[in-house]
A and B are shown apart, each in its own frame.
Chain A
Amino acid sequence: MAEIKNYTMNFGPQHPAAHGVLRLILEMDGEVITHADPHVGLLHRATEKLAETKPFNQSIGYMDRLDYVSMMCNEHAYVRAIEKLLHLEAPIRAQYIRTMFDEITRIRNHLMWIGTHGLDLGSMALFLYAFREREMCMDMYEAVSGARMHATYYRPGGVYRDLPEKMPKHKESQWTKGNDLKQANEWREGSLLDFIEAFIDDFPNKLNEYRTLLEENRIWKQRTVGVGVVSPEQAKAWGFTGPMLRGSGVAWDLRKKQTYAAYDKVDFDVPVGVNGDCYDRYLVRMEEMAQSGKIIKQCVAWLRNNPGPVMADNYKVVPPKRATMKEDMESLIMHFKLFTEGYSVPAGEVYSAVEAPKGEFGVYMISDDSNKPFRVKLRAPGFAHLSAMNDMVKGHMLSDVVAVIGTMDIVFGEIDR
C-alpha cells in the first residue's frame, strides 16, 4: 500500500463559504485538519491611513465600510472617540436613537449571520427567511439616513437628524399591486417609530420560525454541537469578545459593564453559553436578537414621549441650521469653516469601544490639536477571532472548517480594514 502523506489544500479566496475573501491554506491528513493558515488582507484598503489625511467628519463614512453588515455600530465607536476627546456630550434623545439603531444593527447583523451560517451548513430556506426580515431593517436605515447600508448617520454631537414623521411606502409596480401592495405597506402608515414597533412586536414570531427550522434539527445539531469548542480561558487568552466570549460562558458585555449611550437606562439580559461550541454560540446570538427587540421596544416608548434636540448645540462641531444661516452671519462663518477646515480636536489619545454585534469594536485615536486625526487604529473583533482559526479547527474535519468560519461571524471589511 502506498504511503499516505499530508497534503495542503487551498480554500478560497473566492469561496462561497469563506464569507468574503479569506484564503485558507489547510494542511490535511486525510480529511482531518492538521494546520490551518488563514491569509487575510485581500480587502485591505488602508482605512486608517486614509482617515489620517481627512478631517474628522469625513471619515465617518469609511466606518460604515469596515464591518459592512453592522454599519452604525462602527460609526458609534468612531464618533464616541471624537466626542471623548472633545469632551462633547450628545443630547439624551440622540443617545436613545443611537441605542435603538445599534440594536437594529445587531438584529441586522445576526440575521445576516444566521442566514449565511445556515446556508453554509445546509439550510437553504433559512437564508431566505432571514433576508426577508433584514430587508425591513434596511428600510429603517433608509428612512432615517437615506442610505440602506452606508448610513453615515451618527455624527460627533448626536445624530444627523431626527426620526422622520412619515415612513416611506412602497409604490405600485408591476410586481407589487393590489393586496400585495396593501400588505407591504401595512406597517408603513404611520411614522418610523410605528414601523419599528410593528416590526419588533412581530419579530419574536419570526425568531420562532427560525428556531423551528434549526433548534432541534438533526443535521444542524450534528454540524454544530461539539464543533469548535473554546474554553473560557482560551477565549480570554485569544482576545475573544462579544458572542464568541459569551458562548464560552464568560458573562462580559460592554453594554452592561462599561455602559455607554442609553444602555444604562434600558432593561435587558445578557445570554451566556455553557459548552463554548458552535451550537452554544448560535443559541447566544439567537437570544441576543430577542434581547435587542426588548431594548428597541423600550427606546421606542421613550422616544415617543420625549421630543428634543438630537444634536449638541455647538457650532464648532455641529453644522448650524439652514434657517439660521440665512439671517445670522456667525452661523454662516461657522458653517463655512466647518465644511472647509473642519474642527480641531484637543491633543490627546483615547480608546473608545462599543459592543458591536461581532464583539468589541474599538477605536484608538491620537490627536495633535489638528483638524485631522494623527492616528486612528481600528480594533476589529473579527481580526482577533480569525487569528485563533488554527487552534479552533485543528483536529476537526474539513466540513467543520465551514462551521467554524460561520460561527466566528467574520466580515472581511473589518478584518482587512
Chain B
Amino acid sequence: MSIYKRQLSKSLHTHFSDIDIHIKETVNGVICTVPVESWLEVAKTLRDDRDFDFDQCIDLCGVDYLSYGEPEWPTDEVTSTGFSRGIRGKGPGRFTWSERRKETITNRFAVVVQLLSLNKNQRLTLKCFAPDEGMLVVPSLVDIWAGVNWFEREAFDLYGIIFQGHPDLRRILTDYGFIGHPFRKDFPLIGNVEVKYDEDKKRVVYQPVSIEPRVLVPKTIRRDSRYVDNAANQENS
C-alpha cells in the first residue's frame, strides 16, 4: 500500500509542478491541497491521465475550520475548577444564534473530495479552500464526475459553498424555506426555530427554539507524548 502512495505523490508532483499544490503523504492516505483556481484543471487531469485514472468520485463534502484546535477546557495549566465546570468560551453546541462568533478567519471553508481509481486501486483526498470574499465560490465538478451533483448540493446546503456551473444548486437535506447553513461551526446545534402545531391557526407553525444549548463533555486538547511519538513513528515508517 505504501508503494502506491509514494508513486502517487511522485506523479502528482511531476504533473502539477507549475501549480502551487501541497501534498501530504500519511499512513492513512495521500492528501492533495490545490488552489481553487486550478481546481477544475487538476480534477480533469486526475480523471483522464493514465497515471491517475480516478474514474470515481466517491464523496464530496464541505469543512468549516472555525474553532479548529480551540479547547474549552485547557489542560496545559492548573485550574481551580473541575472538569465539567471549567468550560471556557462558547464551543460548538454551547451557544445560541445571537451568541454566535462573528469573526472571519482565512481559509475557513474547504471542499474535500475523495477519489477512487478502480483500475489502479488507489485513493486520493483532494482538497481546496474556498475563497471567502462575501461569497464562497468553487467551480463545480459535475461535468467531470456526474455523481457529485447531489454531494455539491449538500455542501451548498450545509455550508453555503456555491458551486459555479452546477446545473441545479438547490437545498437538499434541510427543510423547504430553511434559513442559514446548519453545519457551519457558528450555527447553533439547537438551531434557530422549532415547529409545533398551532391549535388556533390549525396548522404547523415555526417559533424560536425553546431549548437551551447544552453539551455535557467539554472539548479538551491533549498532545500527549504517547500519542505524538507513536504517530510520528508510524508516519516515518
Contacts and interface: CB of A to CB of B under 8 A. Distances in A.
Most chain B beta-carbon contacts within 10 A, residue among A258, A350, A370: A370
A257 interface: yes
B224 A344 contact: yes
A370 B71 contact: yes
Nearest to B82: A340
B183 A49 contact: yes
B217 A370 contact: no
Given A87-B231, A239-B145, A364 B114 contact: yes
A369 B182 contact: no
Interface in A279-299: none
Given A252-B118, A369-B222, A374-B68, A237 B189 contact: no
Interface in A47-101: 48-50, 52-55, 58, 84-87
Interface stretch (A267-275, A320-328, A377-385): A377-385
B93 to A, nearest CB: 4
Contacts of B31: 349
Given A49-B183, A383-B151, A384-B150, 20 more contacts: A40-B173, A41-B173, A49-B189, A52-B92, A53-B92, A84-B28, A85-B28, A87-B234, A239-B147, A250-B118, A340-B217, A346-B230, A351-B28, A351-B59, A364-B61, A369-B221, A369-B227, A383-B150, A416-B173, A417-B173
B147 A238 contact: yes
A55 B217 contact: yes
B183 A41 contact: no
Nearest to B183: A49
- 5 closest A-B pairs by CB: A239-B147, A387-B150, A53-B93, A41-B173, A344-B222
Contacts of A375: 63-64
A288 to B, nearest CB: 19
18 contacts: A53-B93, A84-B28, A87-B231, A239-B57, A252-B118, A340-B217, A342-B217, A344-B224, A349-B125, A350-B29, A351-B123, A368-B69, A369-B222, A370-B69, A371-B222, A384-B58, A387-B151, A417-B173
Contacts of A369: 69, 221-223, 227
B38 interface: no
A387 B183 contact: no
Contacts of A379: 58-59, 114
B215 interface: yes
Nearest to B175: A41
Contacts of B23: none
Interface string B195-237: 0000000000000000000010101111110111011001000
Interface in B90-113: 92-93, 112
Interface string A385-401: 01110000000000000
A352 B148 CA distance: 19
A289 to B, nearest CB: 24
Interface of B: 26-29, 31, 55-59, 61, 63-64, 68-69, 71, 83-84, 92-93, 112, 114, 118, 121, 123, 125, 145-151, 154, 171-175, 182-183, 189, 215, 217, 219-224, 226-228, 230-231, 234
Interface of A: 40-41, 44, 46, 48-50, 52-55, 58, 84-87, 236-241, 250, 252, 257-258, 316, 340-342, 344-353, 360, 362, 364, 366, 368-372, 374-375, 377, 379, 383-384, 386-388, 416-417
Given A241-B58, A350-B28, A344 B149 contact: no
B215 to A, nearest CB: 5
Contact of A44 (B27, B146, B174, B221): B174
Contact of A368 (B114, B121, B174, B221): B221
A360 B118 CA distance: 13
Contacts of A50: 189
Nearest to A375: B63
Most chain A beta-carbon contacts within 10 A, residue among B55, B114, B173, B223: B173
Contacts of A371: 217, 219-220, 222
Contacts of B112: 364, 377
B183 A87 contact: no
B131 to A, nearest CB: 20
Nearest to A85: B28
B142 to A, nearest CB: 11
B113 to A, nearest CB: 10
A370 B68 CA distance: 10
B183 A237 contact: no
A342 B84 CA distance: 13
Nearest to B147: A239
B145 A237 contact: yes
Most chain B beta-carbon contacts within 10 A, residue among A54, A316, A360, A368: A368
A366 B61 CA distance: 12
Contact of B59 (A370, A372, A377): A377
A341 B220 CA distance: 8
A257 B56 CA distance: 15
Contacts of A377: 59, 61, 63, 112
